[in-house]
Amino acid sequence: MKLEGKVALVTGAARGIGKAIAELFSREGAIVGLVDLRPATELASALSKQGKEAIFLPCDITDPVAVQIMVEGVHRRFGRIDILVNNAGIIARGTLLDLTVEVWRKVLDVNLNGVFNCCKAVVPFMIKDGGGKILNISSIAGKTGDLTAAPVYGTSKGGVNAFTKSLARQLAPYKINVNAIAPHAIETEMSAEWSPEKRKEIIESIPLKRLGKPEEVAEAALFLVSEGASFITGEVLDMNGGYFMD
Ligand SMILES: NC(=O)c1ccc[n+]([C@@H]2O[C@H](COP(=O)([O-])OP(=O)(O)OC[C@H]3O[C@@H](n4cnc5c(N)ncnc54)[C@H](O)[C@@H]3O)[C@@H](O)[C@H]2O)c1
């Protein structure tokens, strides 16, 4: 098992990509904290039955005080936090003309400030405990600009990519690796919003001619937080079926 004895926090773990990451990390021997606004109590008890302990941590990542309290509680209970996966995110649709300042702020607050809040709370513990792995779930839109979303989603993810690289440099002396995955078109509730026509068009545009699966993102996440990736930091890994090659 690749994560035996590790303690991992996964944000947005109640469903979609975060859930698949939490399930795989648990199968690989990690104690997993499932951070989400949505209930994940049943998922936590199912994971606890199959392997190591998993706990649901209800928390809004946009609230820095709540995040700090949650992270301190996890560290007090398990003695360390080895892995942080910043996966929670939201999307908005439409053009600049439809985009309100409220939606602009909300998307940046969850997708970018939320990542900052979690890193700010977890990194001091990782430094004290001698290292760690941070993985941010970004998006292709952070590199290409928005393809199907409103022009704030890609902006938030571009910020995540730059933040990933900045932290990778700053935290390398503390043995903390910071990487990101930039997926495109993964089959989750977020992508279920597409009309059948849009979905067909997107599949046609992808060389592998299908959508990605949350479990495939989880496999890449496992690699990037495992010892096998110990010399990789500051990487934003494309995962898009060949649609975009950096
Ligand atoms: N699905 C895709 O095609 C796709 C493509 C590129 C990137 N991504 C990124 O992958 C990540 C996961 O996406 P998904 O498709 O699984 O989405 P999803 O909507 O299925 O799941 C997101 C989870 O995040 C949680 N969340 C939202 N705001 C939160 C907050 N403030 N505090 C705590 N939890 C919060 C939600 O409750 C939900 O459980 C996101 O960051 C998304 O931007 C997804």
**CATH number (domain holding residue 77):** 3.40.50.720
pLDDT bin (cut points 50, 70, 90) of residue 49 is very high
Q: Are 187 and 212 in contact (CB under 8 A)?
A: yes
Q: Say if 242 falls within a structural domain.
A: no
∠ Cα 225 162 193 (to 5°):
80
Mean pLDDT along residues 239-244: 98
Q: What is the 3-state secondary structure (H, E, C) of the chain?
A: CCCCCCEEEEECCCCHHHHHHHHHHHHCCCEEEEEECCCCHHHHHHHHHHCCCEEEEECCCCCHHHHHHHHHHHHHHHCCCCEEEECCCCCCCCCCCCCCHHHHHHHHHHHHHHHHHHHHHHHHHHHHHCCEEEEEECCCHHHHCCCCCCCCHHHHHHHHHHHHHHHHHHHHHHCEEEEEEEECCECCCCHHHCCHHHHHHHHHHCCCCCCECHHHHHHHHHHHHCHHHCCCCCCEEEECCCCCCC
pLDDT at 22: 98
pLDDT at 54: 98
- From the CA of 153, give the closest atom in ligand 1: 43
Residue 191 has pLDDT above 90, yes or no: no
Q: Are 45 and 39 in contact (CB under 8 A)?
A: no
Q: How many CB atoms neighbour CB 95 within 10 A?
A: 9
CA distance 218 to 99: 32
pLDDT bin (cut points 50, 70, 90) of residue 42 is very high
Q: Say if 166 falls within a structural domain.
A: yes
Residues of the domain holding 136? 7-235
Mean pLDDT along residues 20-37: 98
For residue 81, what are its two tokens? 């936090």
Mean pLDDT score across all residues of the chain? 97
Backbone torsion region of residue 210, taken as left when φ is above 0, otherwise alpha when ψ lies between -120 and 50, otherwise beta: beta
Q: Which residues line ligand 1 (CB under 6 A)?
A: 11-12, 14-18, 36-38, 60-62, 87-90, 110, 114, 137, 139, 183-186, 188-191
Q: Say if 118 falls within a structural domain.
A: yes
Q: Please give the distance, rounded to the nearest whole angstrom, from the Cα atom of residue 192 to the centre of ligand 1.
A: 12
Q: Which residue has the tokens 């026509």?
A: 197
pLDDT bin (cut points 50, 70, 90) of residue 51 is confident
Q: Say if 1 falls within a structural domain.
A: no
pTM of the model: 0.99
| Active-site residue, selected from the candidate residues 25, 56, 125, 153 | 153
pLDDT at 230: 98
pLDDT at 138: 98
Q: Please give the distance, rounded to the nearest whole angstrom, from the Cα atom of residue 189 to the centre of ligand 1.
A: 9
Q: Say if 243 falls within a structural domain.
A: no
pLDDT bin (cut points 50, 70, 90) of residue 246 is confident
In sequence order, the 6+-apart residues with CB closer than 8 A to the CB of 192 are: none
pLDDT higher at 168 or 194: 168
- From the CA of 14, give the closest atom in ligand 1: 39
pLDDT at 74: 98
Q: Name beta bridge partners: 183.
A: 239
Tens-digit pLDDT profile for residues 193-229: 899 999 999 999 999 999 999 999 999 999 999 999 9
Number of domains in the chain: 1
Q: Say if 53 falls within a structural domain.
A: yes
> In the annotation, is 153 catalytic?
yes
Tens-digit pLDDT profile for residues 12-24: 999 999 999 999 9
Q: Please give the distance, rounded to the nearest whole angstrom, from the Cα atom of residue 188 to the centre of ligand 1.
A: 9
Mutate which of 35, 186, 189, 240 for ligand 1 pocket (most atoms within 8 A of beta carbon): 186
pLDDT at 148: 87
Q: Say if 31 falls within a structural domain.
A: yes
Q: Say if 101 falls within a structural domain.
A: yes
Residue 52 has pLDDT above 90, yes or no: no
pLDDT-above-70 percentage for the chain: 100
Question: Closest Cα partner for 149 from 181, 190, 189?
Answer: 190
Q: Which residue has the tokens 């500051």?
A: 234
For residue 198, what are its two tokens? 């849009």
Q: Please give the distance, rounded to the nearest whole angstrom, from the Cα atom of residue 173 to the centre of ligand 1.
A: 31
- From the CA of 17, give the closest atom in ligand 1: 16
Tens-digit pLDDT profile for residues 142-155: 999 998 899 999 99
Tens-digit pLDDT profile for residues 87-96: 999 999 999 9
